[in-house]
Amino acid sequence: MGRPDRAGAAAHDPALWRRRHHLSGHAAAAEALRLSHLTGAPLAHDTIARLAALTHDRLAPLADPSRGYALLDFPDYSNIGDSLIWLGELAYFDRHVGRRAGYVSTTSGFDPDRLKAALPEGPVYLSGGGNFGDIWPRFQTFRLHVLRSLKGRRVVQLPQTILFRDDANVAATRAAIAAHGDFAMMVRDQRSYEFATRELGCEVVLAPDMAFCMGPLAAPTPSRDATYLVRTDQEAAAGRGAVRPPAGIDALVTDWIIEGHTPSFPERVVGAVKRRLDQRPEEARYRARAEAERARGIEMLGAGRAVVTDRLHAHILSLLLGRPHVVVDNSYGKIGGVMDAWTGEDPLVHRAADFDAAGRMLADLLKN
C-alpha cells in the first residue's frame, strides 16, 4: 500500500490545512529573521518578517483556497497604497497557496455569474484597505452586492480599517452579513476590531496590513534630502500645521493619487483599445498594473533620504524600503491605529503631532 497523500488530505481537511500552514508561517519567519541578522539588515526587516508570518497565522485558518479562490476589488484607480495591498495579497497566495486566483475583478467589473462559472467553489477574498464603512461609499456598496450575490459561500474580507458615520449604514452592513451567513472580517487595528466584534455579528480577526507580505524592497539611491508625501483628500488631518519643509532642506512635497479624476473621452478610447489588444488574463494584467504603481511609489519615496507623510502606505512602504520617516496621523487615526498594533516600535518610525513638529524631527534625522 502506498503512503497517504498528505497534500491531498490537507486540501480536504480544514484542520490539516490550518496546522500545515501555521507551521510553514513560523518557519518562514524564522528563516527571514535568521537571514536579516546574518546580513546585518535593518531592524525593519525583523518587523516585516514578523508581520508577514503573523498575517499567515491569522489568515490561513479562515478558508482553504488550495482548490481555487477569487480575489475581488482590484484598485483600478490612482492610489499606490491600494496597489501595494494587492501585491501583498498576491505575494501571500503565491507563497502559501501556490496558485493564482481563478477569478479577479474590479468593483465595477464584478460579475457573480462569471465568478461562479470560472470558480464553482472555493473562498472569495475581498482586497484589504482603509475603506470599510461609509467614508468611501462606493466600496461598501460593492461589498454588500458581493454578499447578496454569493449567499452561503465563504467570503473573507482581508485586513481593513473600519469607519462608519451613519448608524443606518452600520445596520445595513450587519443585515447583509447576517443574510449572507458565511463572512469573516479581518481588521488591522484595535478600534476596528472592537467595533466589528460589537456591531457586525461575524467572525473577526485582527491582523497586519497585507502589504507587509511583499517583504523588504530594494531602495533607490536618494537624490534629495526628503520626500513629503501628503494627503490632499477628506482624510487629511485638520489643524495639522503648515506642510513646509524646514529651511535648508531639499524636499519634494507631493501626493501619489489623483482623487476624483474622470478620464476624458480620448483617455477612455485609448484605455479601451489597450485592454482589447492586451490578451493576457486579467490576473496578469492587474498584477502588471499594480507593479507599475509600486515602482512609481518607490521612485517617489526612495528619492528622499527620509520621508514625512500622513499616508498609511507611505509609512509601510518606507519600512519596506528601510527609510527613516516621520508620521503625522490622518483625520481619524488610521495610521496611529496600525502603528499602535504593529509598527510603532520600529526605530525607523517617528511620530509627530503635526507637520510643524514633523519638520523639526526631520531636521534632526538628517543630521545623523
- For 294-303, what is each residue's pLDDT tens digit? 999 999 999 9
pLDDT of residue 40: 35
Q: pLDDT for 233-263, tens place per residue?
A: 888 876 777 789 999 999 999 999 854 444 4
Average pLDDT, integer, range 175-193? 98
Q: What is the 3-state secondary structure (H, E, C) of 188-252?
A: CCHHHHHHHHHHCCCEEEECCCHHHHHCCCCCCCCCEEEEEECCCCCCCCCCCCCCCCCCCCCEE
Name the nearest CA neighbour of 312 among 195, 163, 153, 148: 163
Task: Name the phi and psi angles at 292, rounded to 5.
Answer: -65, -40
Q: pLDDT for 52-66, tens place per residue?
A: 999 999 999 999 999
Q: What is the rounded distance in angstroms from the CA atom of residue 105 to the CA atom of residue 8?
A: 29
Q: What is the rounded distance in angstroms from the CA atom of residue 355 to the CA atom of residue 360?
A: 9
CA dihedral 35, 37, 41, 47 (to 10 degrees): 90
Q: What is the rounded distance in angstroms from the CA atom of residue 98 to the CA atom of residue 92?
A: 9
Report the range of poorest mean pLDDT among 3-17, 140-154, 280-294: 3-17
Task: Name the phi and psi angles at 347, rounded to 5.
Answer: -65, -15
Mean pLDDT, the chain, integer? 86
The model carries a pTM of: 0.85
pLDDT of residue 252: 95
